[in-house]
Structure 1
Amino acid sequence: MKHQATPYLTFDGHARDALEYYKNIFDGEVLNVQTFGEADFPTPPEADERIMHAQFKKGELFLMMSDTFPGQDVERGSNISLALDMESEEQTQSLYDKLSEKGTVLMELQDTFWGAKYGKVKDAFGVTWDLNFQKNK
């Protein structure tokens, strides 16, 4: 892995509000906001203004966050996963296989429109992991 795991927060349509809240609380900077409507990915029109991915930074504090599709449930307090930026496709596949063996696959490991190999797995202890290998960096 390239660095420490990054907390990834998920919201039910409130990611933009959360970004502003954390910006004010921590006096930080909002980075790289992309909505579902801006993405090269088929989404329902009611999701167009929801945040697909955003980043927040204040010094060493770094958070990523997104909204769900409309109608998907988010349990407050359990709306966090750990994002890992992997060093190779092989490392990503290996970790995905190990985590999913006794866990639950939330998104199959696959090539994405953002140029990465990505998968999401909830492990045997209920911890959710986002595995991302950016191919075109």
Structure 2
Amino acid sequence: MKQQVTSFLTFQENNAEQAMNFYISLFENSGIIEVQRYGNDGPGKEGTIMKAIFELNGKEFICSDSFIKHHWNFTPAISNWVECRNETELVDLFSKLAENGKVMMPLDDYGFSEKFGWIADQFGISWQLNLS
């Protein structure tokens, strides 16, 4: 069996499902593959995500709702890079991901790209959006 590397997103506010559904609504060829939930016997809150697998345009991700409150959260040191096909797609994704989030680099020409932007979305996940 071939070893696979997959990004794992650990949510600490019981919002993994909300984030996952938001992300799959933004990208083509995306969907939920599998969801495992905590039951009434714990250790997480009943109904929250123990482990969910989803795809964003063919790229697999895993997420969960952590029942342990860690002293860390998401950081922009790790981000998702998205190559946008055109400016309309770039502006649309930027606008949706920036809503209730934080714009770290507004859409602009930074020399390495004609148009680029960097956002931490409402869940704290970082996205770098680039015009291909």
TM range (shorter): 0.3 to 0.5
Normalised TM-score (structure 2): 0.47
Q: Which of the pair is proportionally richer in helix?
A: 1
Highest relative contact order (Cα 8 Å, sep 6+), 1 or 2? 1
TM-score, normalised by the number of residues in structure 1: 0.46
Of the two, which has the highest radius of gyration?
2
